Amino acid sequence: MTSRFSCAYLLLPLFTVLISCGGPGDAGIQPTNLASASDFLVNAEERLEENEEYESRVDWVRANFITYDTNWLSSRANAQTKRLSVELANGTKRFLEIDLPDDMRRKMNKLRLDLTLPAPRGDNAARELSDIESRLASMYSTGKGTYRGASRPLVELEDLMRTVRDPDELLEMWTNWREVSPPMADEYTRMVEIANEGARELGFKDLGHMWRSKYDMDADEFAALSDTLWMQVKPLYDALHCYVRGELAQEYGSDVVDPQGAIPAHLLGNMWAQQWANVFPIVAPADADPGYDITELLVGNGYEADQMFRTADDFFVSLGFEPMPETFWERSLFTKPEDREVVCHASAWSLDGEDDIRIKMCTKVNGDDFQTVHHEIGHNIYQRAYKDQSVVYREGANDGFHEAVGDMIALSITPEYLRQIGLLNRVPDASKDIGLLLQSALDKIAFLPFGLLVDKWRWQVFSGELTPETYNEGWWKLREDYQGVKAPVQRTADHFDPGAKYHVPNNTPYMRYFLAHILQFQFHRTACEVAGWDGPLHRCSIYGNKEVGARFDAMLQMGSSRPWQEALEAFTGSPEIDATAIIDYYAPLMEWLGEKNAGQQCGW
C-alpha cells in the first residue's frame, strides 16, 4: 500500500470508519457554490498536509521502537487522522449536486472515497462499527492452529506448510487454523449491515459499489473489466493447474488428488493455496536447475544489506532517476536491531511528502530479499516522482499501480542483469528457462484467480447475493470455479472460512493485488519495446536504458491526479489495461505445459 508509506506484503487500511461530524458535513449551514467548494478544498489540503507528516513520523517511531508508549502515540495520531478524514468525507456531501471543474470534482470524489468502511450518521453506529473492527482484528491476530497436536501461531504454521509433505499433517494445520474464523461470522454480518448503510448515505448502492467506484469508471463496468482480464490469462492458468495437479497426484496418489478434479487446498504449500511456489520441488522437471543461485552469488560476493540497497538504487540511476538522497541512507532501517523489537515487514515511506523517503526492512542476504529491495526502492521512486502533486493525489494512479511498479522492476532481475552487475559470470542458455518460468508462474500465475475472487466474494456479500447462511458456500463455489481448488474436508454454513484470510476480517480491499499482477507485465512489455529488446520477453532487462526511465517517470509524476487510464497511456501508449503481456512473457512455458499435458483431461 502507499499513501505516505508502502508495504509489499502487509496492507492496512488507513481510513476505515466514517462517523457523523458537525461543521462541513452539515448541509444548509454553509453556502454550496463554486467559491465555497474551492475554499473547502484549499482548507482540506492544508490540514491533510500538516496532519500527514505528523502521523507519518509518529508511525515511523512506533514501527522502529515498539513500546507501550509508542503504540499509544501512534493510536492517538491515527485516531486524529481518522477524525479528519471523516470530517472531510462528510464535507464533500454538500457539493455533490453542483457543477465543479474536473480537478475540483476529482479531489472531492477522492476525499469521499478515501474510506474503506463508512458508517451512517449517528454516533452509536460509528462506535459499534469501530468496536467490531477491533474485535475482528483481534480474533485474527491472536488466533492459533496446531501441528502434531501442539498449538502454533500462524507464522509458524505458514513456515511448516512450505516444507511439510505429509497430507495428514497438512490437513491438521489447514483445518485447525480455520477454527479462528467461525466466531467472526456474526460480527462480520453486523459490520456489513452498518457499512452498507453508510455507503448508501454517500450515494452508493452498497459497499461493493463504493469500492468499485474508486477506479475512474462505472462500478459495474469495472467488474466486467476484471472478468475480461481474467479470461485473457485463464488458458495459461488452466494449463498450469493441469500440470501441477498431475504431479501432485503422482506424489500423493489418486485417492488424495483426483487427476481430473479440483486440487485439495491443503496440498499447495500455502495456507490459502493462493501461491504455489512452495511445491516447486515436487513439480519441477529434472532439468529445472538454472545453474546458479542468487543467494549463493550474493554471499559469495560479500554482499551485506546496505550493498543490496545500493545495487537497487543504482538500477534506477541507470534509468536516469536521481539517486536516493543522503537522508535515505542515514534514516532508513535495513537490518533488524539487536536491542529492540521493530516491525519487520518491508515497507517504503515518504514522511514529508517531499524528499524524506526511507525504507524499513529486516533484510537478509538472500535471493528473495534481493528482489524485495528492488521492489521497495521502486515505491520510493514513485513517491518522490509525484511529490509536487496535491496531497490528495500523492498515491498511485490506482491502488494496483504502486505494487505493479515495484514488481515490474523485479522482472528485470534476469541472468543478464546479474551478469551486468558482476554477480554472474555467464548467462545460462535457454534450456534453463523453463525451470525459472515455472517457478515464477507458480507464484504469479497461480495467484491471479485468488486475487480476483476475494473481492468478488465480498461484492456478493455486500450486495446481498450471499447471505450469512450462504457465506461459506459462496466462498467455496468461487474457489472451485476460479481456482479449481476445493476444501479437503466438508465445510458447512457454520464455518466462516473467508475469515481465516487476513484481508477479510481486517477489511483490506484485495483487487489491488489482482491489478498489480496484470499491470506489472504490461509495464514490462512496454519497457522492453521502448528499449528495443528483440528476444524472449522473460529475458529482457531494462537496466541502463534512460529512454525507458524518462517515459516511466512521466507516468509516475502524475500520481493519481488524472484517471489511471491516462497514466497508463502516458507510459504504454494505450489507456487499456491488457493481460496479454502475461501470455507473451510465459510463452515458452505455455508451449512446454501443452506438451506435458498432452493426453491429460484438463479442467475440473
Q: What torsion, rounded to 10 degrees, do the Cα atoms 397, 402, 405, 409 define?
A: 170
Helix (H) or strand (E) holding 147: strand 144-147
Burial (CB count <10 Å: 0-12, 13-18, 19+), residue 158: middle
Q: Which residues contact 357 (CB under 8 A, 6 or more apart)?
A: 324, 325, 328, 348, 349, 350, 351, 380, 383, 384
Grid coordinates representing 352?
A: 514529508
User: Would you call 376 a catalytic residue per the annotation?
Assistant: yes
Distance of CA 231 to the CA centre of its chain: 21
Burial (CB count <10 Å: 0-12, 13-18, 19+), residue 128: middle
Q: d(Cα 232, Cα 582) in Å, to the nearest integer? A: 9
Q: d(Cα 161, Cα 145) in Å, to the nearest integer? A: 12
Catalytic annotation, pick one of 133, 172, 197, 376: 376
Q: d(Cα 62, Cα 333) in Å, to the nearest integer? A: 13
Burial (CB count <10 Å: 0-12, 13-18, 19+), residue 9: exposed
Q: Are 418 and 300 in contact (CB under 8 A)?
A: no
Q: Are 278 and 163 in contact (CB under 8 A)?
A: yes
Catalytic annotation, pick one of 209, 374, 503, 524: 503
Q: d(Cα 57, Cα 358) in Å, to the nearest integer? A: 11
Long-range contacts of 45-53 (CB under 8 A, 24+ apart): 45/390, 45/391, 45/392, 47/84, 47/88, 48/84, 48/88, 48/391, 48/392, 49/353, 49/391, 51/80, 51/81, 51/84, 52/3, 52/4, 52/81, 52/353, 52/391, 53/351, 53/352, 53/353
* Residues facing residue 7 across a β-bridge: 347
Q: Which residues contact 570 (CB under 8 A, 6 or more apart)?
A: 551, 554, 555, 558
Q: Where are the alpha helices (DSSP H) in 142-166?
A: 154-163
Q: Which residues contact 474 (CB under 8 A, 6 or more apart)?
A: 457, 460, 461, 465, 466
In the numeric block, the cell 510463452 is attached to 587
Q: d(Cα 604, Cα 586) in Å, to the nearest integer? A: 23
Report, as residue numbers or ranges, the catalytic residues: 376, 503
